[in-house]
Amino acid sequence: MKVSISDLADKANINFGTSGLRGLVTDLSDEVYFAYPQAFLQSSPIKDKRFVIGHDLRPSSPRITQACMTAAEQLGFMCEYVGALPTPALAYFGIKNSIPRIMVTGSHIPFDRNGIKFYRVDGEVSKEDEQSIMESTVSLPDSIDLLE
């Protein structure tokens, strides 16, 4: 099923924050976790179809990470999972290895919220990148099988 990211954002009441998506965990459905990383990966200039992903220690982060990885794998991307770590460590790793990255983190917001930060090969996504993600259309599977 084809889904417009902007329509999904309106429906889920979520917005871009600092370099990524932020919202209440209850608003961030599996569809959101799946669709946004696909939109990011489709709209970014990525040469070799690989990226790195990590997460913070929030209880909701492993499930979100799994959805991001499943979405990327559906597009033929290889995911290098680095587990729980601080956001700057993932940013540094990505820059050192010239690889895009996704960090599942709510940063400084309360635990009832979470988010997904997107990094291009050369750094954080820009406002133009965010616009490109928001204008994307992605394909969602009939069901999204994640960690239970």
Average pLDDT over residues 23-31: 84
pLDDT digits (tens, 9 = 90+) for 65-98: 999 999 999 899 999 999 999 999 999 999 999 9
Q: What is the pTM of this model?
A: 0.89
How far is CA 65 from each of CA 5, 35, 69, 102, 135, rounded to the nearest angstrom?
19, 13, 6, 9, 23
Q: State residue 86's pLDDT score.
A: 95
What average pLDDT does range 40-62 have in this prediction? 90
Contact 147, 6 (CB under 8 A): no
Q: What is the pLDDT of residue 18?
A: 67
To the query of whether residue 44 is one of the catalytic residues in this protein, the response is no
Domains, the chain, in order of start with CATH, read 2-139 (3.40.120.10)
- Check 6, 29, 107, 132 and give the catalytic one: 107
C-alpha torsion sign, points 55, 59, 63, 64: negative
Q: What is the pLDDT of residues 117-128, one digit of tens each?
A: 999 988 888 889
